[in-house]
Structure 1
Amino acid sequence: MSLSNTSSPNPRVIAVANNKGGVGKTASAAAIAGELARQGHAVLALDLDPQAGNLTAVLHQRGYRGHTLLSVLLGEATLEEIIVETKQTDLDLLPASIQLLSQESRLQRIPGYHGLLRRLLPQLSGYAYVVIDCPPSLGDLTSLALTAADVYVIPCQAEQLAFDGLHDMVRAAGVVRENLNEKLTMAGIFFTAYHPNQRGALNHGTVEATRRIYGDEALLPHIRKDMAVPMSQAMQQSVCAYEPNSRAAQDYQLLTQAILNAL
C-alpha cells in the first residue's frame, strides 16, 4: 500500500493494551485489524511488542529479525522498507523483532520521544486505521503508542491478577492523557476466553467488579473461547479473515463496531 505525505486525514489509531500478558491482547489486535480490513478499510497493524513479536508471527512470520518502527524513528530505515503485506486484502503490517529491545534505550535519548509516533502519522495517511499491539508493560513503548492513539481498549481475563493489572493500565493511560495526549479515550474493556453461561463465581465477580468500578458503558462485547483463534494463528491470519462465521469472529465483529462507535 502506498504511503503519503499529502494533507490527507491521518488514520484513526487504536491501541490494544494491557500490562499483563496472556490475556488475548495480540489475538485481539489481529482480530480487530482483520475485521476492519474485512469491512474494506485500509488498515496497518503495528507490532510494538519486542520480546515476543507475536503479532508479527500471527500475521507475517515467526522469528522476524528485520527493522522495526523504532528503526524508522531512529532514522535507520523508511516505512516503505519495513511495512509488509499480509495474507488479507487491505491489511498491512509493521513488524516487530527482538531488535526493539536494544533500540528502546536509544529512543529514550531523543528529546520529546513520546511524540515521535504521533508525528509519523501523516506518512501513514494511506491507511484509515492503525491498530497497535502494545507490549505487556507500562514502559516507554506503551507510552509511545498511547501518545499517538485516539482510543485504547483493554483485553482482560476474568481472574483476579488480570483485574489488578487493569487498574494499573487505566491509571497509566490517565497519566498519558494528562501530560502527553489530551484526546486519548478509553473505548472500553472486554473479557477474552469468556462465556457468560459457563462462568464460575470468581469469573462472575471479576466481571461484576469491573462493571461497578468503570460503569456499564466501559464494558465492551466479550470474546468467547474458540479454537478458531489458535487455528487462524497457525495459518497466519486473523480469525475474522480465517473463519468469519466462528463464535470468536462474530464476537470480534461486535467488538470492532463498538470501538468504531467510540471513535
Structure 2
Amino acid sequence: MRIIAFYSPKGGVGKTAAAVNMAYLASRENISTLLWDLDPQGAASFYLAGAEMVKGRKLSKLLEGKSPIARFIHENVYPNLDFIPAHSSFRNFDIKLEQEEGHNALKDLLAPLSEDTSLVILDCPPTLSRLTEQVLEVADKVYVPLVPTWLSLNSWNQLREFVKDKKLGNKKLRPFFSMVDRRKNLHREILAQGSELFGHQVPAAVPYASAVERMGEEGQPLELLAPNSPAAVEFRKLWVSIRKDLWAR
C-alpha cells in the first residue's frame, strides 16, 4: 500500500481539488484507492459527490477503538474509489494525537487498510501541527500545491524548516504550481524560476480555472466535468508524475 498526502500550510491553494482529482484518476486505472478527508471543513465531500451524499462520523469513536476504520469508509463512491469524509470533530485530531504521544497513531489507523487498498490519499488541513507531523512521517510522498506568489513561496520555506526541525525528511516533499494565472507577470516570472526554487519540482502547473470551482457545485471530479479543460490536462500530468514516483521500476 502506498500513502500520499496533499498538504499546504496555506489554505486556499487548490489542495483538495488536486487530492480529489488524483484519487479519481488513480481509481480509473483500476488502482484500489481510498481518499481520507482529514480537513474538518470537508471540502472533498463537495468535490466528490456534492453535499448530500457523504457524511462523516465522530473521530473519538475511531481513536478510542470503539469503531473500526471500515465503518468510516464510504465504499465505491466511484469504482475503485472509497472515501472517508471529514467530520467537524476532526478539529480535535491534534488534541487526540497529543494524548497518544510516543507512536504514530495515524499509521496504526491506516494499517488495517493495507489488505484491500493500493493507494491512500490524505487531504490534510492547513496547519503545522502534530497531525502534520504524523502525516509527514507516514506518507511516502507529500504533494504541496503552491500559487506562484512570494507569500506562497514563504509558506513553502516555512514547511521545509518545519520538516527539517522535526527530522521528517525533505525528500518526501513534491511541490507543484497551482491556481496559476499566466496573465500576471509575477506568476510567469516564478513559473520560469521553478527548477531553481525547488529542485525536485513536479512538472504540472494547474491553472486558476472556473472549471475547478465548478467541481464543488456539480459534485464531480474534473475528469468527468470538463476533461478537455486546461486544468484537467495539468491534473493528468500531475497524476503521471505521481504514478512514476510511487511505482517506478
TM-score by length of 1: 0.83
Instruction: Give the structure with the larger helix fraction.
Output: 2
Q: 2:186 aligns with which of 199, 202, 205?
A: 202
Match of 1:58 among 47, 52, 66: 47
Matched with 1:97 is 87
Q: What are the ranges of 5 or more consecutive residues in structure 1 without an aligned counterpart?
A: 1-10
Name the structure 2 match of 1:136: 126
Q: C-alpha separation between the residues in 1 aligned to 2:144 and 2:201?
A: 10
1:106 offset after TM fit, Å? 2.7
What is the match of residue 191 of structure 1? 177
Counterpart among 2, 26, 47 of residue 12 in structure 1: 2
Question: 2:142 aligned to 152, 156, 176, which one?
Answer: 152
What is the correspondence of 1:153-168 to structure 2 with a 5 Å cutoff? Answer: 153-168=143-158
1:156/1:162 contact within 8 Å kept: yes
The 3 A distance-change label for structure 1 pair 99 and 253 is: same
> 1:104 aligns to what SS in structure 2?
helix
Q: Does the 8 Å CA contact 1:44/1:93 hold for their aligned counterparts?
A: yes
State the distance in 2 between where 1:211 and 1:94 align: 35
Question: Does 1:117 pair with 2:106?
Answer: yes
> Could you list the per-position Cα deviations for residues 48-73 of structure 1 after superposition, in whole angstroms to 9, with x for gaps in the alignment?
112x1211332245487642566423
Identity of aligned residues (%): 27
- The CA distance in 1 between the partners of 2:45 and 2:74, in whole Å, is 10
Alignment length, in residue pairs?
244
One-letter code of the match for 1:53?
A: G
**CA, structure 1 residues 143+39, in 2 after alignment: closer, same or farther (shift >3 Å)?**
same
Q: After TM superposition, give the deviation of residue 210 of structure 1 in Å.
A: 4.0
Per-residue CA distance 1:75-108 (angstroms, 9 max, x = gap): 2321121101354211111111111123431331
Q: CA RMSD in A?
A: 2.4
Paired residue for 1:245, among 225, 228, 248? 228
Shift of 1:44: 0.4
User: Does the 8 Å CA contact 1:85/1:92 hold for their aligned counterparts?
Assistant: yes
Aligned to 1:260: 243
Conservation of the 8 A alpha-carbon contact between 2:180 and 2:206: yes
Decide which of 221, 226, 231 is 2:209's aligned counterpart. 226
Partner of 1:262, secondary structure, is helix
Q: Point out 4+ residue stretches in structure 1 off by more than 6 angstroms.
A: none
Q: Give the TM-score of the pair, scaled to structure 2.
A: 0.87
2:187 is equivalent to residue 235 of structure 1: no
Report deviation, 1:183. 9.7
